[in-house]
Structures are given as C-alpha cells and as structure tokens.
C-alpha cells in the first residue's frame, strides 16, 4: 500500500499544474488584434526590417495600435505601392505611394582601378577577410569583392563584377540587407530619386588615395565649393552627399577631377526605351538589360 502516497501526490501535482495552466491560459489570453492580423497578411512577410520595425508582425501591430495614424502605411519598401495600397485600405487611411528607396554603392575600385595588397587565401567571405589585418584591398575602404552582399540579397540585385559589387537598380527594392552585410559599410540606402552618388568611402588622405586608386576621392573639396545647395561636404577624406539637400543638379559631378561622382540615368521605375550611354563607364548602377 505504500505506493498510494507517492502516486497520489504526483497525480495531484500534475492535475494541479494542469489546472493552473488551463486557467491561466483562459484568463491571460492575448488575442491578436484583428486589424493587425489583416495587415500582417497583406505584408510580404520578408521580415527584412526596412520599415524600421522588428519584422512584419511588429510593423503590423504598430499600425493596428496607432489610432491617430501617425505611423505611415507606406513604409514597406519591398511591398511597394501594391502593399501600401492594401494596407491603407485595411486601415482606412489615404493611400500615399510607397517611399521607394534604393541601394547605392560607395566604392568604384574595380580591379583595373585599384589593386589588392595581399594574396588572401583564407575563408572566402568579406567578413572573414576584413578580420584579417584590414581587408585585402590596397585601400582600406575598398570593396572586398567576395560578395557577402550578393549572398544576402533575396532579389538577385547585386553581383560582383571585376572585384566590385554592382547594384541593379531595377531589381533592388531597397530592403537594406546588403548594407548591413558589408563590413566596410559601402552600401547606403537612399531615396529612389537619387541621381548623384559619390563612389568612394576612402579615409586615406588625398595623396595616398591618388597612389592606390585611379578613381578615389582625393578630398580636393572642389565639389563642396561648386554646390549651390550646401549638399556635399568632404568628411573623413571623402565627399559625402546630404540627400535631404541635394537637388540632383549634377554640378559637382562635372567638376570632380577624378570622376568619382557618378550620375545615373534619370527614370526610376519606368525603364527607359534607350539607355543613355552616360556614365556607362563609371556608373555603379547598371542600365536595364535590353
């Protein structure tokens, strides 16, 4: 009979625990907001974080909770206009076009313009190479060319050409995963209307840059003097454009002695009939395939 007590106790504890959990589950249940669930279904589910929230579910929840509609319904760049439209109709707010973004590449150092300082045989990723000394490029901030960015891009918008990452702006949705993957932070996410890009991030003084790269920014500040809108400044030995001020007038690009400021063909979403040969040599964003 001595087994009655132990069996009884364990059974009682099991029942008790089960009971408590059932009750807790009933009383502390959190329902998912209906609107949030609908918004979540409308979002692409890429969980990329381009909207500034920790994934699609977080964004959907924030939208549903926000009664004054302070959070915009068009933050999902991968989803674009279609998703923005659907989300706005679920929330009953007016539709605004998705604020499209695009990735730009701030290095132009392909193999014919600059060189490698070492014959790196280690693990073939940008991240590993960057850990080793300061990367294989002669320029510390050069594209490492192993394509960490290519590997993370879900839209097949980047490829490595001649040791340099090249972004296809017609495929890029501006999700920003590549920007996070690049150990040299060479990729920046900018408004889609951007036409002028400084293709260099070198931190070396102008003299050094001139020796190791045929197209590096030499920090001469000509662009800074040319710009009428105070939108371009030499910071840390390379020119940086402030896209909130830039009017795309391209004056700086014309003045630049090393041609490191690239100008892209204008149309953004509608691919042009005839891609202009402009900048074909220097542009880091390619024209659409014909």
Partner 1 sequence: MQEMMIIILSAILVNNFVLVKFLGICPFLGVSKKLDSAVGMSLAVIFVMVLATAVTYPIQMGLLVPLQIGYLQTIVFILVIAALVQLVEISLKKYVPSLHQSLGVYLPLITTNCAVLGVTILNIDEKYTFFQSLLNSFGAGVGFLLAMVLFSGIRQRIENNDFPAAFKGIPAVLIAASIVSLSFMGFSGVIDGLFGH
Q: Which of 4, 5, 81, 281 binds partner 1 (CB under 8 A)?
A: 5
The Cα 149–Cα 125 span in angstroms is 10
Q: How many CB atoms lie within 10 A of CB 63?
A: 26
186 vs 64, 149, 258, CA distance in Å? 35, 10, 19
What does 10 interact with, of partner 1, ligand SF4, none (CB < 5 to 8 A by kind)?
partner 1
Q: Which residues contact 206 (CB under 8 A, 6 or more apart)?
A: 217, 218, 219, 220, 237
User: Closest distance between partner 1 and the C-beta of residue 20, in Å?
Assistant: 6
Separation CA 195–CA 103 (nearest Å): 12
d(CA 227, CA 251): 7
Measured CA to CA, the distance from residue 164 to residue 105 in angstroms comes to: 9
Q: Which of 73, 61, 69, 66 is nearest to 36 (CA)?
A: 61
Work out which of 52, 97, 122, 257 binds partner 1, going by CB under 8 A.
Answer: 122
List 4, 6, 274, 281, residue binding partner 1 (CB under 8 A): 6
Binding partner 1 (rule: CB under 8 A), the pick from 65, 123, 171, 254 is 123
76 known ligand binder: yes
3-state secondary structure of 201: coil
77 interface partner picked from ligand SF4, partner 1, none, CB below 5 to 8 A per type? ligand SF4
**d(Cα 52, Cα 33) in Å, to the nearest integer?**
21
- 132-171 residues in contact with ligand SF4 (CB under 6 A) are 143-149, 160, 165
Q: Does 46 bind ligand SF4 (CB under 6 A)?
A: yes
Q: Is 185 in the site for partner 1 (CB under 8 A)?
A: no
**Alpha helix (H) ranges present in 66-158?**
80-91, 126-131, 148-152
Regarding 94 and contact with partner 1 (CB under 8 A), the answer is no
Strand partners, 166: 159
Judged by beta carbon, residue 5 or residue 270, the one nearer partner 1 is: 5
Dist CA 142 CA 110 (whole Å): 9
| One residue of 41, 82, 131, 235 binding partner 1 per CB under 8 A | 131
Which of these ranges, 47-55, 64-72, 191-199, 245-253, lies near ligand SF4 under the rule CB under 6 A? 47-55
Which DSSP state fits 152?
H
Give which of ligand SF4, partner 1, none residue 67 binds (C-beta under 5 to 8 Å, depending on kind): none
Known binding residue 178? Answer is yes
Interface with partner 1 includes 10 (CB under 8 A)? yes
Judged by CB under 8 A, the residue of 35, 99, 125, 282 near partner 1 is 125
Q: Is residue 63 a contact residue for ligand SF4 (CB under 6 A)?
A: no
Footprint (CB under 8 A) of partner 1, residues 23-82 = 24-25, 28-30
Question: What's the token pair of residue 176?
Answer: 């920003």
Q: By the criterion CB under 6 A, which residues form the site for ligand SF4?
A: 43-44, 46-51, 55-56, 59, 76-79, 126, 143-149, 160, 165, 181-182, 184, 186-187
């Amino acid at each position: 009979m001595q087994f009655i007590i132990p069996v009884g106790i364990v059974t009682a504890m099991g029942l008790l625990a089960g009971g408590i959990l059932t009750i807790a589950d009933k009383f502390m249940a959190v329902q998912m907001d209906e609107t949030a669930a609908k918004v979540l279904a409308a979002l692409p589910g890429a969980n990329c974080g381009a909207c500034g929230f920790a994934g699609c579910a977080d964004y959907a929840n924030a939208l549903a909770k926000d009664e004054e509609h302070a959070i915009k319904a068009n933050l999902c760049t991968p989803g674009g206009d279609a998703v923005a439209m659907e989300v706005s109709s679920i929330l009953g707010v007016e539709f605004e076009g998705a604020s499209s973004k695009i990735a730009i590449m701030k290095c132009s150092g392909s193999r014919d313009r600059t060189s490698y300082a070492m014959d790196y045989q280690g693990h073939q990723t940008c991240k590993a190479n960057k850990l080793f000394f300061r990367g294989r490029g002669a320029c510390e901030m050069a594209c490492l060319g192993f394509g960490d960015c290519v590997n993370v891009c879900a839209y097949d918008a980047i490829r490595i050409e001649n040791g340099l990452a090249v972004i296809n702006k017609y495929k890029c949705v501006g999700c920003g995963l590549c920007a996070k993957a690049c150990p040299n932070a060479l990729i920046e996410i900018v408004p889609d209307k951007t036409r002028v890009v400084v293709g260099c991030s070198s931190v070396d003084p102008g003299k050094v840059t001139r020796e190791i790269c045929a197209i590096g920014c030499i920090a001469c500040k000509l662009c800074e003097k040319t710009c009428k809108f105070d939108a371009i400044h030499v910071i840390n030995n390379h020119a940086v454009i402030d896209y909130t001020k830039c009017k795309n007038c391209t004056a700086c690009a014309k003045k630049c002695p090393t041609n490191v400021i690239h100008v892209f063909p204008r149309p953004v979403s509608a691919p042009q009939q005839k891609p202009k040969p402009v900048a074909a040599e220097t542009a880091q964003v390619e024209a659409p395939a014909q």
